[in-house]
Amino acid sequence: MDKVLGTINGMDFTIGDSLLELSYLIAALLFVYGLKLLSHPATARRGNLWAAGGMGLAMITTLLLHKNDSGAGIPLLNMWIIIAFIGIGSAIGWIIARRVKMTAMPQLVSLFNASGGAASMLVALLEYPNAIAGDIGSILVTVLGLIIGSVAFSGSVIAWAKLDGRVGDIMKPFMTYINLVLLIVTLGMGVFVVFSPTPPSDLMWAIYALTVLSLVYGVMFVMPIGGADMPVVISLLNALTGIAAAMAGFIYGNQAMILGGILVGAAGMILTMLMCKAMNRSLLNVIIGSFGGGGAAGAEHEHGTIKEIQLSDAAVLLSYSQKIVIIPGYGLAVAQAQHIVHELDALLEGKGIEVKYAIHPVAGRMPGHMNVLLAEADVPYEQLVEMDAINPDMPNVDVAIVIGANDVVNPAAYDDPSSPIYGMPIIDAHLAKNIIIMKRGMGKGYAGIENYLFFNDKTRMLFGDAKSSIQKLVNEIKSM
């Protein structure tokens, strides 16, 4: 029988309880250590493993040592059900992660966010009837977990659908007012539930109404947001999922869930604010600004002169350069050209040419998308240079190769006050001595605005599929 060590608030505290709490503390420390390792691509893989180990420890010790108020452990049948569903979920996750394409990674991240939000929403729905009337603290964390979890769930599902091309944008001015009204009504209903003296069992109608309102708000909140803002939205939804998990931790008094949720929420919010800074916009402006559907800006350049370059000329230009910067964007991911572009940079480096990759904070469709994409192709981390570090050296670059990037190199951010991206920090590709832009055609970027860089006197367009074009370029350089 478990030895009683003492009594806290009238409840016996046993060796098993001590070991369980200690395991939660160790799990929390592993979360922190894993998060620290995730701060650099070279250690991110180990960081994931350490954090997963912490979660595994918390799950195992909970199954073995958790006791209810009467001192009984988890029934054997329940334990097998839990283990079975953990196994099923792990198998599904492993299969999805192995099969997902890099171009679909943002969608996968959105679905992960959705599952976390759904879990927190269900915990709140299940535990609210057990709350004690008048216990404002307990009811508050339950209601917050319900609202935030529901918004994170439905918002992440819409984010997935938008990224996957299944749902379009609804960018109408009236959407802002609808969302504000919906948010006020949702928060008002939440306040009513928290401070109502009515027993929770008699307020289930209000909880269900609050769930529906929160789910609808999650949909309406994400729907108007343009594609160029999706990295910020995904990061924000990730933060909301973490906060919802922390609320679930407060419901159960689980220290590992609380700290894990706080870490995810805080990291997500910090990343969100950093990306907003990289776009020179406030979070509120991202949420209600409907950025990404313009097109009026840059109209005066619609009929500018476009100059093309032939593969042979591009091969000569690159072969006789000393410093080259490759600027990747979402188009690189779509073309699945990360491996061949690494072959190109290795070929050029073999000729004694310095090759770097310029990484914009919001390039792609999720935070760190380009870093992940190039890491898959085994591009050395030392070659990946962030925007702030590469920009001062751009005037010394012989050739800037833009592959699939559009808005993050658009000089309209500097030159056109009427542009939706005016004031947004960009990679200064226009300062390079020569610019080669690889595109399928003259289509606009995800922000839907014209790119002034296309009309720069130093710019040459290399039209075609990026993967095919780079492969031909590699062959041309090899034959020289």
pLDDT in tens, 302-319: 556 888 999 999 999 999
Q: In this structure, what is the dihedral angle of CA atoms 148, 154, 156, 157, given to the nearest 10 degrees? A: 160
Confidence (pLDDT) at 2: 54
Count of Cβ atoms closer than 10 Å to residue 354 Cβ: 14
What digits encode the pLDDT tens for the residues 105-148? Answer: 788 888 889 999 999 999 999 999 888 777 888 899 999 999 99
Half-sphere exposure at residue 216, Cβ-oriented, CA atoms within 13 angstroms: 16
**What whole-number distance in Å separates Cα of residue 237 and Cα of residue 224?**
15
The phi, psi pair for 305, rounded to 5°, reads -85, 125
In 3D space, the residue among 396, 389, 383 whose CA is nearest the CA of residue 434 turns out to be 396
The phi, psi pair for 221, rounded to 5°, reads -70, -40
Alpha-helix runs per DSSP H in 131-254: 136-163, 173-195, 204-222, 230-252
Confidence (pLDDT) at 1: 46
**What whole-number distance in Å separates Cα of residue 364 and Cα of residue 445?**
11
pLDDT at 17 over 60: yes
Q: Identify whether the C-beta of residue 144 lies closer than 8 Å to the C-beta of residue 247.
A: yes
Q: What share of the chain is helix, strand, coil (3-state, %, to 5)?
A: 65, 10, 25
pLDDT at 335 over 70: yes
Which amino acid, residue 424? M
User: Which residues are identified as catalytic?
Assistant: 407
The residue that leads in pLDDT, 443 or 393, is: 393
Q: Where are the beta strands (DSSP E) in 68-117?
A: none
What is Dmax (Cα atoms) for the chain? 84
Confidence bin at 4 (pLDDT 50/70/90): low
The residue that leads in pLDDT, 444 or 326, is: 326
pLDDT at 19 over 90: no
Mean pLDDT, rounded, for 340-363: 93
Structure tokens at 389: 């570090």
Mean pLDDT, rounded, for 172-182: 82
Q: Identify whether the C-beta of residue 453 lies closer than 8 Å to the C-beta of residue 414.
A: no
Domains of the chain: residue spans and CATH: 103-293 (no CATH), 302-478 (3.40.50.1220)
**Least confident segment among 17-26, 94-103, 154-163, 337-346:** 94-103
Confidence bin at 465 (pLDDT 50/70/90): confident
Confidence (pLDDT) at 66: 82
**What whole-number distance in Å separates Cα of residue 318 and Cα of residue 324?**
8
What digits encode the pLDDT tens for the residues 213-269? Answer: 999 999 988 888 766 677 788 889 999 999 999 998 888 888 888 888 998 899 889
pLDDT at 8 over 80: no
**What whole-number distance in Å separates Cα of residue 239 and Cα of residue 86?**
24
The residue that leads in pLDDT, 429 or 381, is: 429
pLDDT at 294 over 50: no
Mean pLDDT, rounded, for 179-197: 91
Using only C-alpha atoms, the chain has a radius of gyration, in whole angstroms, of 26
Confidence (pLDDT) at 65: 87
The phi, psi pair for 88, rounded to 5°, reads -65, -45
Q: Identify whether the C-beta of residue 327 lies closer than 8 Å to the C-beta of residue 402.
A: yes
Structure tokens at 424: 């947004």
Pairing between strand 4-8 and 11-14?
A: antiparallel
Confidence (pLDDT) at 328: 94
**What whole-number distance in Å separates Cα of residue 152 and Cα of residue 53?**
25
Q: Identify whether the C-beta of residue 24 lies closer than 8 Å to the C-beta of residue 254.
A: yes
Angle between helix axes 173-195 and 204-222 (nearest 10 degrees) is 160
**Least confident segment among 31-40, 202-211, 295-304, 352-361:** 295-304
Structure tokens at 433: 């001595």
Confidence (pLDDT) at 293: 41
**What whole-number distance in Å separates Cα of residue 79 and Cα of residue 96?**
26
pLDDT at 296 over 70: no
Pairing between strand 384-386 and 323-328?
A: unpaired
Half-sphere exposure at residue 193, Cβ-oriented, CA atoms within 13 angstroms: 32
Percent of the chain with pLDDT over 70: 90
**What whole-number distance in Å separates Cα of residue 155 and Cα of residue 110?**
9
Confidence bin at 300 (pLDDT 50/70/90): very low
Confidence (pLDDT) at 3: 56
The residue that leads in pLDDT, 133 or 163, is: 163
Confidence (pLDDT) at 336: 85
Confidence (pLDDT) at 440: 75
The residue that leads in pLDDT, 248 or 72, is: 248
Confidence (pLDDT) at 158: 92
Mean pLDDT, rounded, for 62-82: 84
Mean pLDDT, rounded, for 70-76: 80
Cβ burial 280-292 (10 Å sphere, 16+ → b, else e) = ebeeeebbbbbbb
Mean pLDDT, rounded, for 422-434: 91
Mean pLDDT, rounded, for 284-288: 69
Q: Identify whether the C-beta of residue 413 lies closer than 8 Å to the C-beta of residue 423.
A: yes
Confidence (pLDDT) at 243: 93
pLDDT at 291 over 60: no
Confidence (pLDDT) at 441: 63
Percent of the chain with pLDDT over 90: 41
pLDDT at 345 over 90: yes
pLDDT at 95 over 50: yes
Which amino acid, residue 71? G
Mean pLDDT, rounded, for 80-105: 87
Confidence (pLDDT) at 46: 92
**What whole-number distance in Å separates Cα of residue 42 and Cα of residue 336?**
22
Q: Identify whether the C-beta of residue 363 lies closer than 8 Å to the C-beta of residue 275.
A: no
**Least confident segment among 246-250, 295-299, 361-365:** 295-299
3-state secondary structure of 302: coil
Structure tokens at 116: 């976390």
